[in-house]
Structure 1
Amino acid sequence: MSKNVLILLFLLTTAVPIFSQHKNTFEQACERTSSITAYKNLPEAIKTADSLYTAARKPSEKIRSLILSSELYDHAGEIKKAISYSEDAHSLISEENDTERMVEVSRLLARQYRQVGLYERAKKYILKGLEASKQIADFQKSNEAAGLLNQEMAFYEMELGNYTNAIQFVEFSLQHFEKIESRNEDKTTAASYQVLGDVYFKLNNYPVAESYYRKAEQLLKKGSCTLGLVYNGLGGIRLKQKNWKDAEFYLKKAEKIADTSRSLKLKKAVYSNINDYYEGTGDNFKASLYAVKYVRAYDSIAARNHGVTSKNKEVIAGKSKGSGEFSKAKNVAIIILFLSCIALIIFFRTKQRKQRSKLRNIIRTQLSLIGNKNRSESPSESPEFSNISVEEIDEKDSEIDRKRNESLMTSETESKLLELLEEFEKGELYNNKGMSLSFLAGELNTNTKYLSYVINQHKSADFKTYINRLRINYIVDKLINDEKYRQYKISILADECGFSSHSKFAAVFKAVTDYSPSAYIKHIDTENQLNKNVHFREND
């Protein structure tokens, strides 16, 4: 055998192990970063993932490192960056035609877009992943992928309130999981049971919901986010049953997991239930503390979602801008479509403004009617507020007192007091829970009889009706002009405008507007949805 042939054989036999060693080393580094480093030092893990991308020699390694970065940023709560890395990985996978990775990243993107409320994009990636899962030759991997994607579709349907569809997709996922043996089988199956528990809870079928929560509980490890949702569900059932002792037991378990979790969804759900628990047991102070926690979690979710949706709009705009390769005819069609969309947006926004104006006019008309009625009736006899008042107020004037005040008060004093009341209405002091006739008289540097007389004469109401009217006007304005207020619980709205309880707020709100708070919010959301349905199609 010649010397050259021997050298060639040597090179071949040494090159394979070296290549294999690089591959194994790279994969081991990714797994170590994902499973170990991330839990010890997340910022360091993210840096390591970036280094792995730089060190990657093949497209498959770059894809692996991009997916790793996406998962780490997702774990850190930076969903905007997580989606960016997932999309980069998806672009590379499309070029490489790697079906297994396509399934993995499609499910990742579906979950991330669902979390930020971009449901149609989420569904697009679920369907893409399901199609790719059929092309996987390995029976185990194909069924595991299909199971996870059907589970994701169930989450999607659940978010949209399509509970029957959600049950169907969970059952599909369980059928696929039954066909495989996986180290993650317990965890994935438990997630399906937890979704079924949530669905049946929403359908008010509490025995069936509890049975699925129990199945999930048996499969989950202590401290997992899904277990937190299970305990929260069990606590929620006990709240509905007014079983306060057991509700406290499960909600404490859920809170312990939520407080250490990065999941805003879990925090929001748990704090909401704990707020309900303290309201139900009459501890208004603790209820307000958890209302604040709930609002913070909600606001964090809203801020995160806004950041992602804003970026999404920028990407769509960027793609549209770079479409110079279209023919002239297509460009003309795009311009016409664009102008049509603008016209539709203007039309719906004009309609929405008219609707809002109409709602405000309804309020003003109703307030005017109540005011006129108060003129013809004694304020204490007004049926709308017969059992509703600002709790601290018990001062009442007789007709004789009012006539006496009229003779004693100078016109200058009356005019000045009226000016002070108008300034008072421009602020938000009326939302103070300690508001009373004597309190306001002190703020305006007058006496209660003068103040009561001016309110009755010029505001067409007694003091309690006047304050309640200002509070309801305040919260109605917030509901119309600030979307986040329409997401808050009624108890939080009540607290915001100074009412001591959910029930008193709801009663006064309906007395003033002829709507319950929830019906009023639903009416506004219905009108706003017309505007939201006008949007540009995403570019594929």
Structure 2
Amino acid sequence: MSRSLLKLLFLFITAVPILAQKKYGFDQICERTSLQVVQKDIPEALKTADSLYMSAKKPLDKVKSLLLSAELYHCAGEFKKSICYGENAHSLLSQINDAEWLSRVHEFLSKEYRLVGLHERSRKYTLEGIEYAKGINNSQRKREVLGLLNQEMAYYEMEQGNYPEAVKYIEFSLNSFGNDHIKDNERVIAASYQILGDVYFKLKNYAVSENYYLKAESLLKNKCCVLGLVYNGIGGIRLKQKNWKDAEIYLKKAENIADSSKSLKLKKAVYSNINDYYEGIGDNFKASLYAVKYVRAYDSLTARSREFTVKSGPETLVQPNKKSAQISIVKNAAIILLLLCLIGIVVFFKVKQRKQRSKFRNIIRTQLQMISSRSESMPLKTENADFSNISVEEVDDRAKGADKRRNDSLMTSETESKLLELLEEFEKGDLYNNKNMSLSFLAAELNTNTKYLSYVINQHKSADVKTYVNRLRINYIVDKLINDEKYRQYKISILADECGFSSHSKFASVFKAVTDFSPSAYIKYLDAENQSDKNVHFRENN
């Protein structure tokens, strides 16, 4: 990065009140930094932001430099660090009296927590930010900040399934931005239209949904996550219309953006629709490939959310440059730890190669334990299970968030308990192998509605309905393979049909995702284990 560019960046920071006329100041700084610096040299840009923090004398200047670092880490896709720097900026807010920057820090944190799945914490920062924004003197900046914060509230209501409320907040957002400033806010206004498209898609009003998607598309000139969601939304409408040709066109555009994007939510949404497209045209092989991609995106999103559910405090936040000696020690310790881990991994895999059969025996025993305690609805694998999930809420907020959602849906605790009992009975049978199994099908069988059932499965079974059913199916067929030798003689397609999968390939991909073995390899190891130990006794399912 050239010296002249560093000087320019420094001037942007120190002259924020003068430069921030078109957009609120920090956004303008981040945009220029992103265009001129980030794509070429993120580490150098971060050093610059760090040096600005060191030279800052006033608390407000420190807040600005910390938020700049947070935005840079956001651009790099490092959400954990971006939140750490954002929280550091938040810790200094008690020392400043600037409504604009108070609301801006809250708006940034509400966005980041939404992106990592902590929706209740995101809502908390959004509501606080709206209150601070009301005190901004500059009317244009006030409208822009309120526009972004109302957009965050719409995201939250969407997540809760409160679609009328989401529409209301998006209307507030669009009114705040105003028609006179569309050129200055094209991307965020396009995001509002894209959210409206999603809302009306959920409400099955596809004509209105497509109209909003097209409005969003008309405002976006370059590839971005919002444009990917727009293409995916239109592709989803074409799938509902069974217009396979147009669906393929839009979904290819969406995939092109998703593959190069850091957004796991975009990848998950796009791969799910493409899987449905290939299922619709009968190409089961390609459908299975995208089913695996969907599972990987789902698991990555879950893993990222898990990082933020642990309790955090000020001591865990990054303190830039104030304790450089401690940071250096930590870095050196981390390097040593990494080397030790690498050595350990090498040793582990060498031992693993020599003891493959012993490992497989342990896998079988672990799976039997999982099967015998199916009522806990845990996946087969004990670590890094492909179909596992956790609450995306913070540990401290989890209970009250669940109570709120139950109250919103008017479901009593007695109803929730009864549904859990019915699910326990469902798991003990084999109805989940029915090829017509779906959320609506299961809700009808349990004499309840889909909203209640989806809530209970997500809250108590740690999965969405599709993952929950697939988990039960794989548990079922593994139990049969272990306890009934005749099943090992069946063709894979017969096993797939036995547990309700629509194709050989889809069954094989999901089976491998759960067990780390293909069905044929799994059967081979079972046969080998049976020959080497005739006295092994496998318990039947409960």
**Alignment match, 1:200:** 200
Q: How far apart are 1:153 and its partner, in Å?
A: 0.8
Could you tell me how far apart the structure 2 residues matched to 1:495 and 1:186 are?
A: 41
Query: Would the aligned equivalents of 2:480 and 2:487 in 1 still touch at CA under 8 Å?
Result: no
Q: How far apart are 1:191 and its partner, in Å?
A: 1.1
**Alignment match, 2:405:** none
List per-residue Cα deviations over 1:205-251 (Å, max 9, x = no partner).
Answer: 00000000111111112212111111010000000111000000001
**Alignment match, 2:79:** 79
AA aligned opposite 1:234: I
**Alignment match, 2:489:** 440
Can you give the 5+ residue segments of structure 2 that lack an aligned partner in the other structure? 1-7, 17-25, 317-395, 400-414, 438-474, 513-542
Could you tell me how far apart the structure 1 residues matched to 2:172 and 2:289 are?
A: 41
Query: Would the aligned equivalents of 1:431 and 1:497 in 2 still touch at CA under 8 Å?
Result: no
Q: How far apart are 1:134 and its partner, in Å?
A: 1.2
Query: Would the aligned equivalents of 1:93 and 1:102 in 2 still touch at CA under 8 Å?
Result: yes
Query: Would the aligned equivalents of 1:201 and 1:237 in 2 still touch at CA under 8 Å?
Result: yes
Could you tell me how far apart the structure 1 residues matched to 2:424 and 2:86 are?
A: 45
- Secondary structure of 2:309's match? helix
Could you tell me how far apart the structure 1 residues matched to 2:269 and 2:261 are?
A: 13
**Alignment match, 2:510:** 496
**Alignment match, 2:212:** 212
Are 1:134 and 2:183 matched, yes or no?
Answer: no
AA aligned opposite 1:82: S
Change (3 A) 1:120 1:362: closer
Are 1:41 and 2:41 matched, yes or no?
Answer: yes
Query: Would the aligned equivalents of 1:140 and 1:179 in 2 still touch at CA under 8 Å?
Result: no
Could you tell me how far apart the structure 2 residues matched to 1:121 and 1:442 are?
A: 50
**Alignment match, 1:184:** 184
Larger deviation: 55-64 or 96-105?
A: 55-64
Could you tell me how far apart the structure 2 residues matched to 1:268 and 1:194 are?
A: 17
Could you tell me how far apart the structure 2 residues matched to 1:109 and 1:359 are?
A: 38
Could you tell me how far apart the structure 1 residues matched to 2:204 and 2:476 are?
A: 44
Could you tell me how far apart the structure 2 residues matched to 1:225 and 1:133 are?
A: 27
Aligned counterparts, 1:294-443, within 5 A: 294-310=294-310, 313-315=311-313, 359-360=423-424, 363-364=427-428, 366=429, 428=478, 440=489
Could you tell me how far apart the structure 2 residues matched to 1:53 and 1:317 are?
A: 19
AA aligned opposite 2:198: D
**Alignment match, 1:237:** 237
Aligned counterparts, 1:24-173, within 5 A: 26=14, 31=30, 32-173=32-173
Q: How far apart are 1:161 and its partner, in Å?
A: 0.9
- Normalising by structure 2, report the TM-score: 0.58
Could you tell me how far apart the structure 1 residues matched to 2:261 and 2:487 are?
A: 48
Change (3 A) 1:104 1:442: closer
Aligned counterparts, 1:278-297, within 5 A: 278-297=278-297
List per-residue Cα deviations over 1:151-170 (Å, max 9, x = no partner).
Answer: 11111111111100000111
Could you tell me how far apart the structure 1 residues matched to 2:259 and 2:63 are?
A: 33
Q: How far apart are 1:315 and its partner, in Å?
A: 3.1
Could you tell me how far apart the structure 1 residues matched to 2:435 and 2:184 are?
A: 61
Could you tell me how far apart the structure 2 residues matched to 1:229 and 1:428 are?
A: 38
- Secondary structure of 1:40's match? coil
Larger deviation: 230-239 or 85-94?
A: 85-94
- Secondary structure of 1:309's match? coil
Query: Would the aligned equivalents of 1:231 and 1:251 in 2 still touch at CA under 8 Å?
Result: yes
Query: Would the aligned equivalents of 1:38 and 1:72 in 2 still touch at CA under 8 Å?
Result: yes
AA aligned opposite 1:303: A
Query: Would the aligned equivalents of 2:284 and 2:506 in 1 still touch at CA under 8 Å?
Result: no
Could you tell me how far apart the structure 2 residues matched to 1:161 and 1:145 are?
A: 25
Q: How far apart are 1:268 and its partner, in Å?
A: 1.0
Could you tell me the percent identity over the aligned residues?
52
Query: Would the aligned equivalents of 2:50 and 2:65 in 1 still touch at CA under 8 Å?
Result: yes
Could you tell me how far apart the structure 2 residues matched to 1:168 and 1:246 are?
A: 31
Change (3 A) 1:226 1:468: closer
AA aligned opposite 2:273: N
**Alignment match, 1:262:** 262
Q: May I ask how many residue pairs the two structures share in their alignment? A: 358
Change (3 A) 1:358 1:102: same
The structure, 1 or 2, with the larger RCO (C-alpha pairs under 8 Å, 6+ apart) is: 2
AA aligned opposite 1:185: N
Could you tell me how far apart the structure 1 residues matched to 2:152 and 2:64 are?
A: 22
Could you tell me how far apart the structure 1 residues matched to 2:303 and 2:99 are?
A: 34
Q: How far apart are 1:76 and its partner, in Å?
A: 2.2
Query: Would the aligned equivalents of 1:79 and 1:308 in 2 still touch at CA under 8 Å?
Result: no
Could you tell me how far apart the structure 2 residues matched to 1:187 and 1:22 are?
A: 26
Could you tell me how far apart the structure 2 residues matched to 1:175 and 1:137 are?
A: 18
Could you tell me how far apart the structure 2 residues matched to 1:239 and 1:58 are?
A: 56
Change (3 A) 1:492 1:155: farther
Change (3 A) 1:215 1:317: same
AA aligned opposite 2:62: K
Change (3 A) 1:250 1:431: farther
Q: How far apart are 1:87 and its partner, in Å?
A: 1.1
Change (3 A) 1:144 1:363: closer
Could you tell me how far apart the structure 1 residues matched to 2:94 and 2:150 are?
A: 22
Query: Would the aligned equivalents of 2:267 and 2:294 in 1 still touch at CA under 8 Å?
Result: yes
Change (3 A) 1:45 1:285: farther
List per-residue Cα deviations over 1:231-283 (Å, max 9, x = no partner).
Answer: 01000000011100000000111111111111111111111111111111111
- Secondary structure of 1:207's match? helix
Query: Would the aligned equivalents of 1:144 and 1:180 in 2 still touch at CA under 8 Å?
Result: no
Change (3 A) 1:468 1:354: farther
More helix by share: 1
Could you tell me how far apart the structure 2 residues matched to 1:97 and 1:385 are?
A: 62
Could you list the structure 1 runs, at least 4 aligned residues long, displaced by more than 4 angstroms after superposition.
Answer: 20-32, 351-364, 384-388, 429-432, 435-439, 466-469, 491-495
Tell me the C-alpha RMSD between the 2 structures. Answer: 4.3
Could you tell me how far apart the structure 2 residues matched to 1:22 and 1:199 are?
A: 42
Q: How far apart are 1:127 and its partner, in Å?
A: 1.2
Query: Would the aligned equivalents of 2:59 and 2:96 in 1 still touch at CA under 8 Å?
Result: yes
Q: How far apart are 1:177 and its partner, in Å?
A: 1.4
Could you tell me how far apart the structure 2 residues matched to 1:198 and 1:181 are?
A: 24
Change (3 A) 1:427 1:40: same
- Normalising by structure 1, report the TM-score: 0.58
Change (3 A) 1:182 1:65: farther
Could you tell me how far apart the structure 2 residues matched to 1:230 and 1:192 are?
A: 11
Could you tell me how far apart the structure 1 residues matched to 2:257 and 2:435 are?
A: 46
